[in-house]
Amino acid sequence: MNKIVEENNIIEVKNVHKSYGSGSAATHALRGIDLKINSGTFNCIVGPSGHGKSTLLQIIGGLDKPTSGQVNVMGEQINALSDQKLANFRSLKLGFVFQFFNLLKGLTVLENIQIPLMFAKIPAKQQEQRAKELLQLVDLSEKAQAKAFELSGGQKQRVAIARALANNPELLLMDEPTGNLDSESEAEVLKIIHELHRNGKTIVMVTHSKEIADQGERIITIKDGMVCE
């Protein structure tokens, strides 16, 4: 086990570089990122498009690996894990919310929320009970049997948040969760995010909106692949 526990840091990124390609054709997405994030905090990552915000979030979440450096999440050096151990870690310890929802259109709302629970081998009856509890949390109980494609954008994002919460992760990673929503739906989703933070979840959210970023506890600015906080 690659356990590293320091202070109250749920995330610690040490000298992380990420490059695509090689030699003179290489693109340097991240250039020596050092970052610590405390448990229970609400953090917003901002910066110009194409400067590394989403790349950093993906590396923190184990969806991508750094070219060099170290990424510790909840005491685990995730960039040193095997693919299988990393997949299990993501499934059980992290919740992901994306701009474009990533729901399975042909499944019902309830079935979409149950997917992480299936991978966690939770018994079917408990899966359904948990999914119903989460639908109540995001105020969509009446949509349990609706197909995902039948929902509005705001409803889809609320279902995506419910799915991210399925295994009760401490850490939620969100990439532009309101970027594809109208103002009313944005307000509904932000209300849920703030409630999750009040209940102790750690949130790391990429956003292009200064107004939304100002609602967090901490703003982390990424420019040219570096932190300029």
Q: Is residue 87 part of a domain?
A: yes
Q: Is residue 171 part of a domain?
A: yes
Cβ pair 162, 132 in contact under 8 A: no
Q: Is residue 10 part of a domain?
A: no
Q: What is the pLDDT of residues 79-135, one digit of tens each?
A: 999 999 999 999 889 999 988 888 999 999 999 999 999 988 999 999 999 999 999
Q: Is residue 26 part of a domain?
A: no
CATH number at residue 196: 3.40.50.300
Report how far apart the first and last C-alpha atoms of the chain are (Å, whole number): 32
Cβ pair 62, 73 in contact under 8 A: yes
Q: Is residue 75 part of a domain?
A: no
Cβ pair 169, 120 in contact under 8 A: no
How much is the pTM?
A: 0.91
Provide the domain count of the chain. 1
Give the tokens for residue 153.
């954008």
* 36 CB-near residues (< 8 Å, 6+ apart): 7, 9, 11, 12, 13
The answer, yes or no, to whether residue 4 has pLDDT greater than 50, is no
What is the domain extent for residue 90? 41-62+83-227
Give the full edge-to-edge strand order of the sheet including 226-227: 94-98, 171-175, 202-206, 42-46, 218-223, 226-227
Q: What is the pLDDT of residues 155-200, one digit of tens each?
A: 999 999 999 999 999 999 999 999 889 999 999 999 999 999 999 9
Q: Is residue 11 part of a domain?
A: no
Q: Is residue 107 part of a domain?
A: yes
Q: Is residue 163 part of a domain?
A: yes
Mean pLDDT across the stretch 211-223?
A: 96
Other Cβ atoms less than 10 A from the Cβ of 2: the count is 13
Give the tokens for residue 97.
């919310």
